[in-house]
Amino acid sequence: MAALDRAAIAALDSRGMFEDVLGLPSQLEDALWRVQSAGLEPYDTRGGLVVAGMGGSAIGAMLARAALGDTASRPILAAGGYGLPPWTTPDTTVLCSSYSGDTEETLACYESAGALGAHRIVVTSGGQLAELARADGVGVIPVPGGFQPRAALAYLFVSALEVAALCGAGPRLTTEIDVAGSHLAALAREWGPDGEGENLAKQLAHSLQGTVPVIIGAGVTAAVAYRWKTQINENAKAPAFWGELPELDHNEIAGWQGAPAVAPMSAIFLDDCDTHPRLKARIELTRAAIEPAARATHVVTTRGETAVERVCSLVLLGDLVSCYLAILAGVDPTPVDALTELKRALAERE
């Protein structure tokens, strides 16, 4: 097996993506402080919470919704694109999440929310969104610059959780966020480049190398499966897909029959201690059904006590797997030239 040590990483990771990923535990603590320092006052919006964002700025909301689970008392939705859901009213809180502050879709949603008279909050590192919010007297949660948007996940995740609590859509999870930091620090040591032997993250990367991975979630892990997929896309510059049980068993499972004729495929099922028993049965049976057509299959389970710990444990693992896959592929995990070029081409059409 190819080495996945500090020397191999240093040769390719020119902009420190590994260190950003391993910094997730401390970023959670800093994110909590930044939300609290924004001085936002609690209020009550009966229409729930819409988080408007794209890419790495949207996944934080999806993971926050997963972590809240059944404790959410009002609708919480991550909305992508240029418009808000048609049911958005002045009683809805709209959190506009854009790491750069210049995401055109999120800027459009910010203006739409203002036109509707919805309660707006912004989380960003700057850009046009910060300028507009401050001019309009809209609360701004500041996040530090210097990250790739996908590496600023902790700030966007915690912001969504805290705003959900502020607007009455869910309980405060401050204690859970604090505790998660120390738990994740231990996992970062275990799965990081200096972890003993071929740790789990390295094993999974070697197993997925040369395949098209399909990441399959269920219940609380569905949003995490999407995060794995997008991290493999951006960090490893490789195709990857995701699915969710039980829906996958009503369609996609049939497609695995033709997988060997198309490409070497692999599957990772993300499980959780609180997964519904029937979903656990589906993970076992679905894995058995597709295994003959797959290069490799794995079941990975969350680690931790609280929902925040468990969700973040698999986020950390997936982020590391994607970065290790980048090293195995001989690519720098940070640049995303395809995204940059597309944004440039769009700008020329304005």
Domains (range + CATH), the chain: 6-12+197-329 (3.40.50.10490), 17-172 (3.40.50.10490)
Please give the pLDDT value at position 324.
98
Please pick, among 198, 291, 305, 343, the residue that the annotation labels catalytic.
Answer: 343
Residues 6+ apart with CB under 8 A from 242: 214, 215, 216, 217, 225, 226, 228, 229
Residue 150 DSSP symbol: G
Annotation says 343 is catalytic: yes
Residues of the chain with pLDDT under 50: none
Answer whether 71's CB lies under 8 Å from 170's CB: yes
Count the neighbouring beta carbons within 10 Å of the beta carbon of residue 294. Answer: 19
Tokens of 55: 């890419």
**pTM tops 0.85, yes or no:** yes
29 is annotated as an active-site residue: no
92-151 pLDDT tens trace: 999 999 999 999 999 999 999 999 999 999 999 999 999 999 999 999 999 999 999 999
Q: Give catalytic status of residue 250 as yes or no.
A: yes
Look up tokens 């049911």; give the residue.
Answer: 87
List 105, 176, 234, 309, catalytic entry: 234
Q: Note if the bond before 264 is cis, omega within 30 degrees.
A: no
Here the tokens at position 270 are: 């993300």
The pLDDT of residue 43: 87
- Could you write out the DSSP letters of every residue in 243-278? EEETGGGGTHHHHGGGHHHH--EEEEEEE-TTS-HH
pLDDT at res. 57? 83
Q: Name the active-site residue from 41, 196, 250, 350.
A: 250
Rounded Cα–Cα distance for residues 100 and 275 (Å): 35
Nearest residue to 201 (alpha-carbon basis) of 157, 169, 236? 236
**Are residues 86 and 113 in contact, defined by beta-carbon separation less than 8 angstroms?**
no
